[in-house]
Amino acid sequence: MANEYRPLIGITCGVSEKGIEGAYPHVSLPLAFYQVLQNSGAYGIAIPPMFNLSVLSKLDGLILTGGADIDPSFYRQIRKPYTDKPDKIRDNFEFKILVDALNLDIPILGICRGGQLLNVAFGGTLYQDILKECPYLDIHNVKSEQEISHEIELIGTSKLADLTEFNSEAVNSKHHQAIDDLGQGLKVIAVATDNLIEAVESTQHRWVVGVQWHPEVIAKHKNFHQRIFNTFVESVKTNLLRM
């Protein structure tokens, strides 16, 4: 319908110190996020960490995106030599806006770092480097996000399992960190072929899902990944009807 309301989804992003031609800092966000949301019937807006937290009152849903490693102090660890130097401004902002969004019970989708941030917010921990800290396979940090890296197994009934008739789906993968101890109030809904946690959802909220891969990149090639955004946006619209 031409007059159908399109929800506004906030998409977190970082700040690069090297701007256009290196002239000034800038915020950037892959075009793919806007495309998948447009295809799902929503609009996206970049939410950089210098925004006031009151911006949440203008948003209908929240996507937490990928980026640099989360400061390990958020999950009660000391940063190890192979962990990125933390972006404290981004970490503090995203942790606060995530907690506020959880308290308001608005739909949230966490992607890669965003899925890890969800786990940390629920009290969980992370592997600071998969290959150095745990016996998992070298399948999780493929150079190109356009490439399929491995399969995931969908576990039990979940918001992701509802999107496919299959028990497994192919995903891309570009991360060196991952969920270790699961946060309280989350359940595992997908694992990789080596049993590394690939997706979680909240048992305490209407629609809060975190995935370790980048569905926005391969959504145009594989319907399962576009459906993740479709069902996210549908949950946003349903949530608006309750308000």
Active site positions, annotated: 112, 214, 216
Tokens of residue 236, six digits: 């946003």
Q: Is the dihedral of CA 200, 38, 15, 90 positive or negative?
A: negative
d(CA 230, CA 206): 15
In sequence order, what DSSP letters do the residues of 21-38 get, joined into one string? Answer: GGSS-EE---HHHHHHHH
User: What's the CA gap between 49 and 185, in Å, rounded?
Assistant: 26
What is the Cα gyration radius of the chain? 17
Maximum distance among all Cα pairs of the chain, rounded to whole angstroms: 54
CA distances from 3 to 34, 44, 58, 173 (A): 20, 18, 20, 38
Q: What is the DSSP letter of 203?
A: S
Distance (Å, rounded) from C-alpha 143 to C-alpha 6?
Answer: 35
Which secondary structure element, helix H or strand E, spans residue 226, and what is its range?
helix 223-242
Amino acid (one-letter) located at 241: L
Query: What's the length of the chain?
Result: 243
> Which residue in 130, 119, 140 sits closest to 80, CA to CA?
130
